[in-house]
């Protein structure tokens, strides 16, 4: 790279440029040259913040407890985003009032990390992004911030023991910790099981704790007296990547993993039963009327389970929600006296309850603040609208219409990881099922109809579909494997029939994250990372070619030593493949399979897990890109890089970023900024390069010891930004006045012009010989 210029400086350059320098060892003199007659209008900010496409209220952490007067309360921790801290709320279930709603001082997100103290009724919860622990005392007007528990660890589970000790599990260490509410002391009890990076479920049973792990869905028992862990094997081994909930109910232990709940007899210390088709988190407390029934959601309906006989029966209640927390409460309803079974649900903090004896129901969706949903992908549809996928987003995905300049929420999609096109339709992939959808933008959106039937890649241990390439009658899809697994896949998907052929390990123990099609072959870049919850076993990302006919990997190579990702692949008009390895730009010749050049755009470290937010885009010969939180334009001839946006000029500080990149039907650039917001970089309509001319005096053929070269250029739209030239093998220079070239022998002068829309004329050549 020879240099960089911010856009504010760049657009002020006159048509004749700003500098002319001596080249190599050749003596050079310069005379003034007139400016061009067309200059771009200065002072116009091309960046527009379009707002948040998706707003959500996501409460993964919740419990049901009681207030100071015994009234039933629901407690929620609601997800924030990187610019908005998380929210803690308390809802009075009887009156349906939100009686407390505050932002916490540190931390924005949680997993299912809330526990209720059986001694004091206090509520404890933790954050999954910072590892901060909090307490709420019912009746108080704010939360108590107890601090960070373990440095470098995120909290993945919180439970409270019989004596009021707070227990927690972490990621990425898979550590068990305890917090003493009296002394404030935190104790690290170590990793539950080797290779397990998460603890996601904890339950005390007398002198032991049962602990559920991820990414291999294992169960361990921790002795409070000896401080040791012992694995407890499932009847048929692990059946899911994680253990999501453990509940003690009388003399039985209910362990939920995947779609199964296993029942263990604590008296005999043996497995007793297994319950299929489970959705939701755990089972209810024992029925206070009979003392022998617990309730769970199985096959999309609520069922009772008899702890003595094992009988499983539907009770005729099918709320459209998976339970988070269960409790028996008194609704103080004279028309339906007696206990009601209540449950919370993570989407919008919804609360459901049912008096089973009376058959009466209760429902409330509280008023909560929520926050803008963090965007994880954007893409241009076949009609040129911009689609935005958001993190764990039950509201849906956003669509930006460049004509109306409005967002539309397309409901029911959840988290979308990548977009593509097929036969004039939009295709996209949903996490965590690895679900592939096809949508016709010319018809109304209706989930289930348009888009219609989908196909899942989760059975093939793939869940994040990030790159889509249309191939006549199929779409090639690059995907990330599920938690705890290596070997991402290339899937050949026929959207007409939903038939898929899945090919894992096209690059062994790596994940393909970016694909392009060139001369019938798929070229791809990889990440060294597999699914979450497992460490990489390779050290350098690769560039590869894969044959979609023979299903063979034809070659693989390391284009940038030590780089963890290679992504953003595009093909230029000359058939060269370009890619990003963090801050390094790669040009690759597919004919001889060599890296032609590497250009360091930015020196900082690449902290991306998959690199899928690093994108290159070529439009009318101009190369735009996003990497390391910067939007830039790159000149392949001069190797100049111009940063168009990094947030610094807007005063956004640490919150500023630029991730992902797409272009709408009018040729404007779109990117994710400040995590939750869609930004537009308005490009001029000009896609025509300038016209550049050279005048050499004396002309070639006439004897001379020196030549005077005058360059001029014109551009009828945005105006000429710079004229550039190089002599022989010297560097490219910016022209501002006539060049005098001394020195005997033959010389080659190359020259070009660039306008204010970064259109560049073709490089032209003039040759002459001096005496």
Would you list the domain boundaries of the chain?
7-46+687-770
Residue 10 belongs to what H/E stretch?
helix 7-10
Mean confidence (pLDDT) of the chain: 92
- Using a pLDDT cut of 90, give the percent of the chain over it: 87
Residue 742 has pLDDT above 90, yes or no: no
**Per-residue confidence band for 35, with pLDDT thresholds at 50, 70 and 90:** very low
Residue 632 has pLDDT above 80, yes or no: yes
In sequence order, the β-bridge partners of residue 270 are: 265
What would the pLDDT profile of 194-249 be if each residue is shown by its tens digit? 999 999 999 999 999 999 999 999 999 999 999 999 999 999 888 888 999 999 99
* Radius of gyration, CA atoms only, the chain: 31
**Per-residue confidence band for 25, with pLDDT thresholds at 50, 70 and 90:** very low
Token duo for residue 673: 């900024």
What would the pLDDT profile of 540-554 be if each residue is shown by its tens digit? 999 999 999 999 999
Please report the pLDDT score of residue 42 as a whole number: 53
Please report the pLDDT score of residue 699 as a whole number: 77
Strands (E), 337-391: 340-344, 351-355, 360-364, 371-372, 375-380, 386-390
**HSE-CB of 115 using CA atoms within 13 angstroms:** 33
Residue 655 has pLDDT above 60, yes or no: no
Residue 14 belongs to what H/E stretch?
none
Q: Which residue has the higher pLDDT, 261 or 648?
A: 261
Sign of CA dihedral 278, 280, 286, 290: negative
Please report the pLDDT score of residue 163 as a whole number: 97
CA distances from 449 to 383, 454, 458, 716 (A): 20, 10, 22, 49
The fourth-level CATH superfamily of domain 7-46+687-770 is Immunoglobulins (2.60.40.10)
Please report the pLDDT score of residue 175 as a whole number: 98
- Using a pLDDT cut of 70, give the percent of the chain over it: 93
Please report the pLDDT score of residue 705 as a whole number: 83
Residue 346 has pLDDT above 50, yes or no: yes
What would the pLDDT profile of 451-491 be if each residue is shown by its tens digit? 999 999 999 999 999 999 999 999 999 999 999 999 999 99
> Is 30:20 a contact under the CB 8 Å cutoff?
yes
Residue 698 belongs to what H/E stretch?
none
Please report the pLDDT score of residue 704 as a whole number: 83
Question: How far is Cα 483 from Cα 498, in angstroms, rounded to an integer?
Answer: 24
Question: How far is Cα 411 from Cα 390, in angstroms, rounded to an integer?
Answer: 12
Least confident of 31-40, 445-454, 571-580, 691-700: 31-40
Nearest to 296 by CA among 319, 272, 267, 265: 319
pTM value > 0.95? no
Token duo for residue 390: 């958001």
In sequence order, the β-bridge partners of residue 737 are: 32
What would the pLDDT profile of 86-142 be if each residue is shown by its tens digit? 999 999 999 999 999 999 999 999 999 999 999 999 999 999 999 999 999 999 999
The residue with tokens 């963890």 is 564
Least confident of 34-38, 293-297, 475-479, 497-501: 34-38
Nearest to 78 by CA among 117, 51, 115, 107: 107
In sequence order, the β-bridge partners of residue 519 are: none
Residue 639 has pLDDT above 70, yes or no: yes
Residue 8 belongs to what H/E stretch?
helix 7-10
3-state secondary structure 293-327: EEEEEECCEEEEEECCCCCEEEEEECCCCCCCCEE
> Is 110:77 a contact under the CB 8 Å cutoff?
yes
Q: Which residues contact 448 (CB under 8 A, 6 or more apart)?
A: 412
In sequence order, the β-bridge partners of residue 363 are: 352
> Is 558:535 a contact under the CB 8 Å cutoff?
no
Q: Which residues of 58-77 are buried (b: 16+ CB within 10 A; e: fewer)?
A: bbbbbbbbbeeeebbbbbbb
Rounded average pLDDT over 152-166? 98
Number of H helices, E strands in the chain: 1, 65
> Is 316:39 a contact under the CB 8 Å cutoff?
no
**Per-residue confidence band for 517, with pLDDT thresholds at 50, 70 and 90:** very high
Residue 24 has pLDDT above 70, yes or no: no
Question: How far is Cα 60 from Cα 324, in angstroms, rounded to an integer?
Answer: 8
**Per-residue confidence band for 17, with pLDDT thresholds at 50, 70 and 90:** very low
Residue 654 has pLDDT above 60, yes or no: no
What would the pLDDT profile of 51-94 be if each residue is shown by its tens digit? 999 999 999 999 999 999 999 999 999 999 988 999 999 999 99
Give backbone dihedrals phi and psi of 47, rounded to 5 degrees, phi first.
Answer: -95, 130
Rounded average pLDDT over 597-611? 94
> Is 132:80 a contact under the CB 8 Å cutoff?
no
Please report the pLDDT score of residue 10 as a whole number: 28
């Amino acid at each position: 790279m020879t240099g960089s210029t911010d856009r504010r400086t760049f657009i002020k350059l006159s048509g004749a440029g700003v500098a002319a320098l001596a080249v190599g060892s050749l003596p050079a003199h310069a005379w003034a040259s007139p400016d061009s007659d067309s200059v771009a209008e200065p002072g116009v900010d091309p960046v527009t913040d379009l707002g948040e496409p998706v707003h959500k209220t996501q409460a993964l952490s919740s419990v049901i407890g009681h207030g100071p007067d015994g009234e039933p309360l629901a407690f929620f921790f609601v997800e924030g985003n990187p610019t908005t801290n998380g929210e803690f709320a308390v809802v009075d279930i009887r009156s349906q009032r939100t009686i407390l709603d505050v932002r916490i001082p540190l931390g924005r997100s949680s997993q299912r990390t809330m526990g209720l103290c059986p001694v004091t009724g206090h509520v404890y919860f933790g954050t999954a992004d910072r590892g901060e622990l909090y307490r709420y005392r019912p009746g108080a007007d704010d939360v108590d911030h107890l601090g960070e528990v373990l440095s470098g660890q995120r909290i993945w589970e919180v439970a409270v023991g019989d004596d009021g000790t707070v227990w927690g599990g972490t990621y990425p260490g898979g550590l068990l910790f305890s917090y003493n509410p009296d002394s404030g002391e935190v104790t690290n009890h170590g990793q539950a099981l080797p290779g397990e990076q998460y603890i996601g479920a904890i339950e005390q049973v007398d002198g032991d704790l049962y602990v559920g792990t991820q990414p291999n869905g294992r169960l361990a028992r921790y002795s409070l007296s000896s401080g040791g862990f012992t694995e407890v094997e499932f009847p048929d081994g692990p059946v899911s990547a994680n253990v999501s909930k453990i509940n003690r109910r009388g003399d039985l232990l209910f362990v939920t993993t995947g779609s199964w709940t296993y029942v263990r007899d604590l008296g005999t210390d043996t497995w007793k039963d297994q319950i299929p088709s489970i959705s939701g988190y755990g089972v209810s407390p024992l029925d206070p009327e009979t003392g022998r029934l617990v309730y769970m959601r199985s096959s999309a309906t609520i069922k009772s389970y008899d702890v003595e006989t094992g009988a499983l029966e539907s009770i005729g209640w099918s709320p459209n929600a998976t339970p988070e927390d269960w409790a028996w409460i008194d609704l103080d309803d004279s028309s339906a006296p007696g206990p009601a079974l209540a449950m919370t649900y993570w989407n919008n903090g919804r609360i459901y309850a049912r008096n089973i004896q009376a058959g009466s129901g209760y429902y409330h969706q509280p008023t909560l603040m929520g926050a803008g949903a963090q965007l994880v992908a954007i893409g241009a549809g076949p009609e040129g609208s911009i689609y935005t996928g958001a993190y764990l987003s039950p509201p849906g995905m956003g669509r930006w219409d460049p004509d109306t300049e409005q967002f539309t929420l397309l409901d029911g999609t959840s988290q979308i990881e990548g977009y593509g096109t097929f036969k004039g339709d939009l295709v996209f992939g949903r996490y965590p099922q690895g679900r592939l959808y096809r949508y016709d933008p010319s018809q109304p959106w209706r989930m289930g109809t348009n888009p219609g039937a989908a196909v899942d890649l989760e059975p093939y241990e793939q869940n994040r579909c990030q790159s889509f390439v249309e191939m006549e009658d199929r779409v090639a899809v690059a995907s990330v494997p599920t938690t705890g697994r290596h070997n991402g896949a290339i899937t050949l998907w026929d959207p007409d029939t939903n038939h898929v052929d899945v090919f894992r390990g096209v690059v062994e123990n790596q994940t393909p994250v970016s694909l392009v099609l060139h001369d019938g072959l798929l070229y791809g870049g990889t990440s060294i990372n597999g699914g979450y919850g497992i460490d990489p076993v390779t050290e350098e990302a690769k560039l590869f070619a894969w044959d979609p006919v023979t299903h063979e990997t034809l070659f693989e190579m390391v284009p940038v030593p030590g780089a963890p990702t290679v992504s953003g692949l595009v093909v230029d008009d000359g058939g060269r493949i370009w890619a990003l390895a963090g801050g390094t730009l790669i040009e690759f010749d597919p004919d001889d399979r060599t890296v032609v050049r590497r250009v360091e755009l930015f020196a900082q470290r690449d902290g991306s897990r998959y690199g899928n937010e690093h994108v290159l885009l070529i439009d009318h010969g101009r190369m735009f890109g996003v990497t390391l939180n910067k939007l830039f334009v790159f000149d392949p001839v001069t190797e100049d890089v111009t940063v168009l946006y990094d947030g610094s000029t807007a005063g956004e500080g640490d919150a500023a970023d630029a991730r992902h990149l797409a272009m709408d039907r009018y040729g404007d650039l779109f990117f994710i900024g400040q995590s939750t917001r869609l930004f537009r970089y308005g490009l001029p309509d000009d896609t025509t390069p300038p016209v550049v001319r050279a005048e050499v005096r004396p002309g070639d053929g006439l004897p001379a010891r020196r030549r005077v070269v005058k360059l001029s250029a014109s551009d009828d739209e945005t105006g000429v930004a710079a004229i550039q030239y190089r002599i022989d093998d010297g560097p490219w220079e910016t022209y501002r006045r006539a060049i005098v070239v001394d020195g005997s022998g033959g010389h080659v002068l190359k020259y070009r012009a660039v306008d204010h829309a970064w259109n560049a004329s073709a490089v032209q050549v003039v040759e002459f010989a001096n005496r």
